[in-house]
Amino acid sequence: MATYLVTGAAGFIASKVCEYLLAEGHAVVGVDNLNDYYDVRLKDWRLSRLLGASSLKLGADPRKSVYAGNSKSITHGWFSFQHLDIENLPALDALFCGQKYDAVFNLAARAGVRYSMENPYVYLSTNTLGTLNLLECQRKYGVKKQVLASTSSLYAGCPLPFTEELPVNTPLSPYAATKKAAEMMAYSYHKLYGLDISVVRFFTVFGPAGRPDMSIFRFIKWIDEGKPLELFGDGTQSRDFTYIDDIARGTVLAAKPLGYEIINLGGGRNPINLQTVITFIEKALGKKAIISGQPFHIADIKETWADIAKADRLLGWKPTVSNIEGFQRSVDWYREHRSWLADIHL
Ligand SMILES: NC(=O)c1ccc[n+]([C@@H]2O[C@H](COP(=O)([O-])OP(=O)(O)OC[C@H]3O[C@@H](n4cnc5c(N)ncnc54)[C@H](O)[C@@H]3O)[C@@H](O)[C@H]2O)c1
């Protein structure tokens, strides 16, 4: 049995990574600052499941988590959660001082591309400084392995399909720039101090309990509620969507010793465009979308497509859930939880 530290544990991807690690029989310490970038009740829902709450603890305030404000950890089985900010070095140091971790899964981040133009400072302080804090603690306490979450956004302007060898020096958003900085900082710590780093670049992750600032969640809710669906551009922009369970499985596999490697975790299929996604959700819900056209956003990439040969070679990883199956599961989850999702702020 290993003990892992997972940052951003209340988040979409990290909560699923925690679930996978626990299912494999490991102990997991999860931390999250529970910020209100999006409705925290989704974070509470995910945490409630990890903490085995018999009834879901959902608060009334979209900005205040019911798990916030408690500096002590809450434990359920082999999972324990602590409300902690990775920007807070003394708090992180105490976390490393009290426990030896086999690896760190660093998934905490400010993750929205568009919001990074409104508040770039918080992106730099969490995504780059927060990562540096973790690397420092790992160096100090001899925790060799970090799996660092990065993004397909780095490939802006690169030829398709995106391979890990491409130079990614033209980030379109502060978000992408801070992720590149985190990758580079991790590289220095690998070279200088021998830390073992797997950078996993995720491609548009979707699935049940997804992020309410991302298209799939919003499209389903808007179409179901008969509200105008905000569509940036003409809907021909396409994404190499990747299902959440495949991403969590690949992230866990990436914890093996590799030196320093960057690995795409993406669908690896021909990307599909947003119009196609909307049509599928319309059919699944039996409702028509009311499209509200918005100008194409300057921080958006027109198309993404992952070359995933390296993930197969190094990790034996390939995605297993098709887009259609994944969209259907997302709609089914939404239907099952419609009563409380009705209150979720977009
Ligand atoms: N979802 C995607 O399609 C996608 C694509 C590419 C990369 N990523 C990366 O994957 C990781 C997880 O993304 P996600 O989609 O689950 O996002 P998310 O916002 O659901 O999860 C991130 C979590 O980190 C927490 N967090 C933010 N700042 C923190 C801090 N300073 N200290 C502690 N916790 C903090 C947030 O509260 C949140 O719960 C991120 O690093 C993101 O950049 C996601």
Q: Which residues in the chain come in under a pLDDT of 50?
A: none
Distance 99 CA to ligand 1 centre (A): 24
Nearest CA to ligand 1 atom 34: 32
Distance 144 CA to ligand 1 centre (A): 22
Residue 335 lies in a domain: no
State the residue range of the domain holding 182.
3-211+241-269+303-321
Residue 21 lies in a domain: yes
Residue 265 lies in a domain: yes
Helical ranges in 142-243 per DSSP H: 174-193, 215-225
**Overall domain count for the chain:** 1
Catalytic residue among 67, 175, 189, 243: 175
Burial of 238 (0-12, 13-18, 19+ CB in 10 A): buried
Our answer on whether the CB atom of 109 is closer than 6 Å to any ligand 1 atom is yes
Give the pLDDT confidence score for residue 55 in this predicted structure.
Answer: 64
Give the pLDDT confidence score for residue 60 in this predicted structure.
Answer: 85
Residue 61 lies in a domain: yes
Nearest CA to ligand 1 atom 38: 11
Residue 326 lies in a domain: no
- Which CATH number goes with the domain that contains 168? 3.40.50.720
Our answer on whether the CB atom of 107 is closer than 6 Å to any ligand 1 atom is yes
Residue 198 lies in a domain: yes
Our answer on whether the CB atom of 83 is closer than 6 Å to any ligand 1 atom is no
How many other CB atoms are found less than 10 A from the CB of residue 297?
15
Q: Which pLDDT tens digit goes with each residue over 239-249?
A: 999 999 999 99
CA 261, CA 163: separation in Å to the nearest integer?
Answer: 12
Residue 51 lies in a domain: yes
Give the pLDDT confidence score for residue 53 in this predicted structure.
Answer: 82
Residue 82 lies in a domain: yes
Give the pLDDT confidence score for residue 218 in this predicted structure.
Answer: 98
CA 49, CA 70: separation in Å to the nearest integer?
Answer: 18
Whether 243 is catalytic is no
* Minimum-distance ligand 1 atom for the alpha carbon of 108: 24
Q: Which pLDDT tens digit goes with each residue over 300-312?
A: 899 999 999 999 9
- Among 15, 20, 34, 35, which is best to mutate for testing ligand 1, by the most ligand atoms less than 8 A from CB? 35
Distance 344 CA to ligand 1 centre (A): 18
Q: Specify the long-range contacts of residues 307-314, CB closer than 8 Å, at least 24 apart.
A: 307/161, 307/162, 307/163, 307/164, 307/264, 307/268, 308/264, 308/265, 308/266, 308/267, 308/268, 310/163, 310/164, 310/261, 310/263, 310/264, 311/250, 311/263, 311/264, 311/265, 314/258, 314/261, 314/263
